[in-house]
Amino acid sequence: LLQSQEALNKLELKRYKLQYLPTLAAYASYIQQAQRSKFDFFDFDQKWYPIGLFGVTMNVPIFSGGQRYYRVKQAQVNLAKTNNSLMNLKSAIELEVNIASISYKNAFASLLTQKKNRELATSIFDTAKKKYEAGVGSNLEVVTAETSLKEAETNYLNAVYDLIIAKADLDKALGNIK
């Protein structure tokens, strides 16, 4: 849309600049008239009178009160505004892509960390359970390890969810989502 607006602004600027040039127009006309007092147009024996006209008109712009000058300046300002908007949009898109990419990398790193935490919590829970079954550990130790395991699994699932959201945001920023 901004590129179309830029093209239109360029054409508008060109149009206003061309108003400084002189214009030349030619015209011609040829007709025949009967010039009779009664209605007998289909009587072809009577004479018809031809009338021909041709001419040329030249318009040389000399003074417009500064109106053309300020129209050109306004068109230049509009073109500059559109160019600035286009550059601003490109920068915003690049920023969005960079942010989405960094967010995706961070979510992936967080997923790997939460996966290791889950594996560690599983190992601790298995150890605490074996100690309890052997009579060396307490019930409180097993409950605490189980709570830590549930928390680690919840954190892992949240990290998976965050990774999926970050991937969708990255695809959106790259324009892969249709």
Do 150 and 174 touch, CB atoms closer than 8 A? no
At 137, the pLDDT band (50, 70, 90 cuts) reads confident
The model's pLDDT over 41-51, given as tens digits with 9 standing for 90+, comes to 677 677 878 99
At 113, the pLDDT band (50, 70, 90 cuts) reads very high
pLDDT score of 56: 95
pLDDT surpassing 80 at residue 40: no
Rounded Cα–Cα distance for residues 61 and 19 (Å): 8
Do 54 and 25 touch, CB atoms closer than 8 A? no
pLDDT surpassing 90 at residue 161: yes
CA 147 from chain center: how many Å?
A: 49
User: Quick one: tokens of 104?
Assistant: 């995706």
At 177, the pLDDT band (50, 70, 90 cuts) reads confident
E strands of 23-131, at which residues? 23-33, 49-59
**Cα R_g (the chain), whole angstroms:** 42
CB atoms near residue 35 (< 10 Å): 9
Whole-number Cα distances in Å, 91 to 6, 88, 95, 111, 147: 17, 5, 6, 30, 47
